[in-house]
Amino acid sequence: MQDPIGIPACFSSVEKQTDDPATVMRSGQSVFMYVYRTKIADQCRLITITWCKNLLLHGLSVAVAGPDGESQYTCKVELKPWYFWRKHGSKRFVVDDKPVDIFWDLKAAKFNGETEPSSEYYVAVVCNEEVVLLLGDLKKDAYRKTGCRPALVDPILVSKKEHIFGKKKFSTKVKFYEKGRFHDISIECKNRSNSNGNGNGNGSSCSGVDPEMEIRIDGHLVIHVKHLQWKFRGNESIHVNKLRVEVYWDVHDWLFSPGLRHALFIFKPLMSSSSTSPTTSSLPLSSLTSIQTPLTSQPGSSDAEDQGVNAGGSSEFCLFLYAWKVE
């Protein structure tokens, strides 16, 4: 599997970025990347919020995509625990001749040992005297500090990329919609004894062990893949609180590549009566890394609305989960 990862170098020069998976392997860093779409400098742009953490450092970066979608304007904050660092402050850069200000307050942020804070913080992006993106629960403090009003256009969470490490079991939490509740996702790779004892040299040993995979959401088994050596890539539709979610997986490197390798899982929420064109479930895994097709809502789907579907019934969110298997 040759999927580009794109890990911002949170702990090095702001200008340096890397797509090399070896960076993740060497540092063992946990990475959470959130991509939002909103209006900045009179254009619709992507903002990437990245939280990084390894044994030595902890960092936050905010990147605004340029008009070509590639060049970026970046602000970096390093959280250094052993000496003074600016736990609150602001930085400015210019996008198309218009100033963009990043405000943050992490003085009392509660991380609870995690990579990203859970409460008592804010991170705000301001342009044209509007708060175009606001993260955290200290919203009143953020508006007071910036002196700006909320933007007329709400930002849309497009995707989340997460890197996790484990031996057999991998766990995370996700909201399939911005206003939805958190769901617990766990992925477990097991070895099942084959009574025939016939090894085939393709992911199963000569002792007759067949790998299999289980995916659970909120403790409920939703996907069970047997004979994983033959089904290392695939997709399946599941339902979470009556919400349809398409799940894609590619675990080829877990089975057939030596050393530390990652598997890729994609969770894409859809509407129950998906009338999209083309059908998302028929798309290959590689195309999901760039898919941003709005999805049409099902009439009268109140459950989906409770999950936070916008008035048009569209959802553009994807969870990209990179699971690094440590032997």
Residue 323, phi then psi, degrees to nearest 5: -105, 110
Taking only the tens place, the pLDDT of each residue in 90-117 is 999 888 889 999 999 988 889 888 888 9
Strands 130-136 and 149-150: parallel
Taking only the tens place, the pLDDT of each residue in 301-318 is 334 434 444 433 346 789
Q: Which residues, including other chains, have CB under 8 Å from residue 83's CB and lie 6 or more apart? A: none
288 SS3 class: helix
DSSP 119: B
For residue 27, give the amino acid letter.
S
Contact 281, 272 (CB under 8 A): no
Higher pLDDT, 22 or 33: 33
- Residue appearing with tokens 């600016």: 86
Q: Is the pTM of this model over 0.85?
A: no
Distance from CA of residue 196 to its chain's centroid?
41
Q: Which residues, including other chains, have CB under 8 Å from residue 160's CB and lie 6 or more apart? A: 32, 33, 34, 35, 174, 317, 318, 319, 320
